């Protein structure tokens, strides 16, 4: 269980009811501050470590090794897979699909993420839950500037913010030239779901030649 942090809720109202995507157990009744750090040196590309307010590791993300698919697996502190993230092949909008556990079966699909438009000057991505098959209106939206490492996560097309992400400067991030994000997850919002969105956001927007 993540400890309740003594920090104020940022501007904006969190949804009154829990918003579970990965699971109800990941919806805390308080603000959850997380630090998402992309590992500078790893065997595979796309490895992350996620820590709580006390610096304890709560989640990790492993990149694909020797795979034809661009794939990430999000694991809990014990190393058990919670979500599997995979880029859809030949997707013009950089669509990613996210499945339960280590699965990539259609029956285990939880949600998908794609850029709102092919050409963007600001970051804007749409999130569709698996049950939203028509995909006419997104269930969640990400807006901001990935260049500045500053993005907000909203409930659908509304102004109801569910999480925020900003660059976090640390000595190690500067020395090792690695990205570190401060992520604030609002009460009753699935923090595992938000972490998956941050990872996909980084993958879609980062410079492949860095």
What is the average per-residue pLDDT within 176-199?
90
- State the pLDDT confidence band at 67, using cuts at 50, 70 and 90: low
Strand 180-185 versus strand 161-167 pairing type: antiparallel
Q: Which CATH number fits domain 33-205: 2.60.40.420, 2.120.10.30, 2.40.160.200, 3.20.20.70?
A: 2.40.160.200
What is the average per-residue pLDDT within 50-74?
87
Residue 200 sits at φ, ψ, to 5 deg, of -65, -40
SS3 state at 188: coil
pLDDT of residue 179: 80
Query: Is pTM, for the whole model, over 0.75?
Result: yes
Alpha carbon distance 40, 58 (integer Å) = 19
The total of other beta-carbon atoms located within 10 Å of residue 5's CB is 15
Comparing 16-20, 24-28, 154-158, which segment has the lowest mean pLDDT?
16-20
Angle at 126 between CA 125 and CA 130, to 5 degrees: 145
Q: Which residues are CB-contacts of 69 (< 8 A; sequence separation ≥ 6)? A: 86, 87, 89
């Amino acid at each position: 269980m993540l400890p309740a942090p003594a920090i104020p809720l940022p501007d904006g109202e969190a949804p009154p009811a829990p918003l579970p995507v990965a699971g109800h157990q990941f919806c805390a009744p308080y603000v959850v501050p997380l630090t998402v750090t992309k590992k500078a040196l790893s065997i595979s590309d796309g490895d992350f470590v996620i820590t709580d307010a006390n610096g304890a590791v709560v989640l990790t993300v492993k990149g694909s090794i020797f795979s034809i698919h661009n794939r990430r697996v999000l694991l809990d502190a014990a190393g058990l897979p919670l979500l599997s993230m995979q880029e859809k092949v030949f997707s013009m909008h950089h669509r990613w699909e996210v499945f339960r556990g280590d699965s990539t079966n259609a029956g285990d699909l939880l949600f998908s993420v794609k850029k709102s438009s092919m050409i963007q000057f600001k970051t804007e991505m749409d999130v569709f839950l698996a049950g939203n098959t028509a995909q006419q209106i997104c269930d969640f939206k990400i807006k901001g500037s990935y260049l500045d490492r500053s993005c907000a996560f909203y409930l659908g097309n509304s102004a109801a913010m569910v999480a925020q992400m900003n660059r976090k400067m640390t000595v190690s991030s500067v020395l090792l030239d690695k990205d570190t994000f401060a992520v604030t997850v609002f009460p009753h919002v699935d923090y595992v779901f938000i972490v998956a969105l941050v990872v996909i956001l980084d993958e879609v927007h980062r410079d492949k030649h860095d």
